[in-house]
Structure 1
Amino acid sequence: MSKRDDPIVGTLKLTRPAHRALAAAGIVTFADLAQWTRRDVADLHGVGPKSFVELDPAMKARGLDYKAP
């Protein structure tokens, strides 16, 4: 079963720039990601639309969502 404290690295197939951008912002787990708005994550340099193809379903599978704007 997927957990909210699962690490993003090694769980999702994101580009290296996306992984670096998330890590630099302190987003290591899905619980960390849930503390951000989707827009703020999208504004990180290195995170593009293709990243959300992986991130969105992974968040939902863990019963998480992005922080409300």
Structure 2
Amino acid sequence: MDSSLDTLPKIGAPATRALTGAGYSSLRQLAGVPRAELAKLHGMGPKALGIIEAALDQHGLRLG
């Protein structure tokens, strides 16, 4: 799985809606955001967080 920093990774629709609703439209924007903050978004579950973390890791980035 290769992820682009300019798009969101392939996560479920509820998680994608949660991110776009919070103003995030690309993986790059998620770097440094606290994991706990993302976990509070409605529709964001452990699986989606894991996918985001793995995608960030591919680029040497991390959640905050």
State the TM-score, normalized to the length of structure 1: 0.78
Count of equivalent residues: 63
Does 1:33 find its partner at 2:30?
A: yes
Secondary structure of 2:25's match? coil
Percent identity over the alignment? Answer: 37
Q: 1:20 to 1:2 in 2, by over 3 A?
A: closer
Please report how far the alpha carbon of residue 35 of structure 1 lies from its aligned counterpart in structure 2 after TM superposition.
4.0
Runs of 5+ consecutive residues of structure 2 not aligned to the other structure? none
Q: 1:14 to 1:2 in 2, by over 3 A?
A: closer
What are the residue-to-residue correspondences of 1:5-24 with 2, within 5 Å? 6-8=6-8, 12-24=9-21
Please report how far the alpha carbon of residue 19 of structure 1 lies from its aligned counterpart in structure 2 after TM superposition.
0.3
Return structure 1 stretches of 4+ with deviation > 6 angstroms.
none
State the Cα RMSD in Å.
Answer: 1.7
In structure 1, what is the Cα distance between the partners aligned to 2:17 and 2:3? 22
One of 32, 36, 49 as aligned partner of 2:46: 49
Is the 1:59–1:65 contact (alpha carbons within 8 Å) kept by the matching residues of 2? yes
Please report how far the alpha carbon of residue 20 of structure 1 lies from its aligned counterpart in structure 2 after TM superposition.
0.2
